[in-house]
């Protein structure tokens, strides 16, 4: 509600918790102080959150991994692989 009334305050930026300071993001705010401003601020937050998720996914280290569950599915299809 504060950001919809013209106050640029976001706890992620204020407290610097977790790794939000490593992401490129801006505080979403509106100055109109009404329900539409709250709605627009929330929609903007969701859009920016998607961009933050994309940034986080890009920072996940690339490595090989083994899917252990797929072995179970392969065995169910081909009983010869059980041995």
Spans of all domains in the chain: 3-82
Mean per-residue pLDDT, 24-52 = 90
Q: How is residue 64 annotated by DSSP?
A: -
pTM over 0.75: no
Name, in order, each residue with C-beta under 8 angstroms of 9's C-beta and a sequence gap of 6 or more.
Answer: 2, 3, 27
Q: Quote the CA–CA distance of 17 and 15 in Å, as a whole number.
A: 5
Q: pLDDT band for position 60 (50/70/90)?
A: confident
Helix intervals (H) in the chain? 11-14, 35-58, 69-77
């Amino acid at each position: 509600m504060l950001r919809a009334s013209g106050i640029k305050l976001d706890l992620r930026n204020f407290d610097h918790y977790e790794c939000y300071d490593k992401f490129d993001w801006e505080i979403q705010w509106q100055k109109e102080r009404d329900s539409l401003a709250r709605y627009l601020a929330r929609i903007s937050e969701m859009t920016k959150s998607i961009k933050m998720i994309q940034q986080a996914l890009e920072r996940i280290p690339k490595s090989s991994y083994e899917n252990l569950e797929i072995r179970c599915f392969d065995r169910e299809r081909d009983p010869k692989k059980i041995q």
